[in-house]
Amino acid sequence: MREVLTATTEKNPTHGHSQEWLDNLEADFASKNEHLFVHIIPHSHDDVGWLKTVDDYFYGADQHDQQANVANIISTVVLELMDDTKKRFTQVEMKFFSMWWEKQSDRKKEDVRQLVKEGRLEFVNAGWSMHDEACTHHDDIMNNMMIGHEFLEREFGDYARPRIGWHIDPFGHSNANPRLFAEMGLEAWFFARIDFEDKAERMANQSMQWLWRPFSQSLGDAVQIFTHCMPDHYHQPSYLRYDERNFDTDPVIVDQNSTSFNADEKVESLR
């Protein structure tokens, strides 16, 4: 189990990118240290059963209960990635991805493997589902992660092993989960739900990122993991929402000759 769950960073230290590419990227960042870098992460968030059954979510049935068609999401994402090398996507839930994978031709599977090797399709968390932390036994947590990671190991190999934990929707977080994630070899984890008073204090003192040392009284710093709490749940900021469910956000207008120019205001709002 430990062998399956532990990320092998020695075998895959750059996760699909060449060391030269990373060195150039670091040098570029260093030369632009006055710039504001914004990381936008397109990612899946597909409940493995909530308002509909797993099959209903996957095939898009019962749209009156919830608008969701996971099979179409994955198919269109793969098409876009193959069409535009600048695009990236992060896939989270292995249950749905494995359902989609089983229906693909050998040619399409090879295309997807190439996307993963190039780092343009990346897997994070990669459990069978995004497990609960409050009511779940540690055996269930490990089995959930193991089944998802075994699927990736079998179909893609070492280069697809996830390095990031992604728990953006569980209702509350326990000390046990970051300990397990750290011991699985994950380098960091991200979550969204946090007590509103804790969040307000962290937002005020800019401490939404920290090094979590679970059970530190007994373990000290022997087990630790970089932790990031998202500021606006798992959405983009309210003033930068441009998907089909948000129609009240002004676009970013970069034409400085326009009386509607607002690019500087939009950038400043990200600080």
Concatenate the DSSP letters of all residues of 186-212 into one string: --EEEE----HHHHHHHHHHT-SEEEE
**What pLDDT was estimated at residue 200?**
92
**What pLDDT was estimated at residue 56?**
96
Catalytic, out of 158, 169, 198, 255 = 169
**What pLDDT was estimated at residue 122?**
96
**What pLDDT was estimated at residue 3?**
45
Those residues of the chain that have pLDDT short of 70 are 1-18, 32-34, 36, 243-247, 271
**What pLDDT was estimated at residue 15?**
45
**What pLDDT was estimated at residue 51?**
93
Q: How remote is the C-alpha of 227 from its chain's centroid?
A: 13
169 in catalytic set: yes
pTM value? Answer: 0.81
Q: Which of 256, 251, 254, 255 is nearest to 239 (CA)?
A: 251
Ranges of H-type helices in 84-211: 94-101, 106-117, 138-155, 176-183, 196-205
**What pLDDT was estimated at residue 4?**
41
**What pLDDT was estimated at residue 1?**
44
The answer to whether 165 touches 204, Cβ cutoff 8 Å, is no
**What pLDDT was estimated at residue 168?**
93
CB under 8 Å, gap of 24 or more: what pairs does 146-154 form? 146/1, 146/4, 146/5, 147/94, 148/94, 148/95, 149/4, 149/5, 150/4, 151/94, 151/98, 152/94, 152/123, 152/126, 153/4
Q: What is the tens place of the pLDDT at every residue in 70-113?
A: 999 999 999 999 999 999 999 999 999 999 999 999 999 999 99
**What pLDDT was estimated at residue 46?**
93
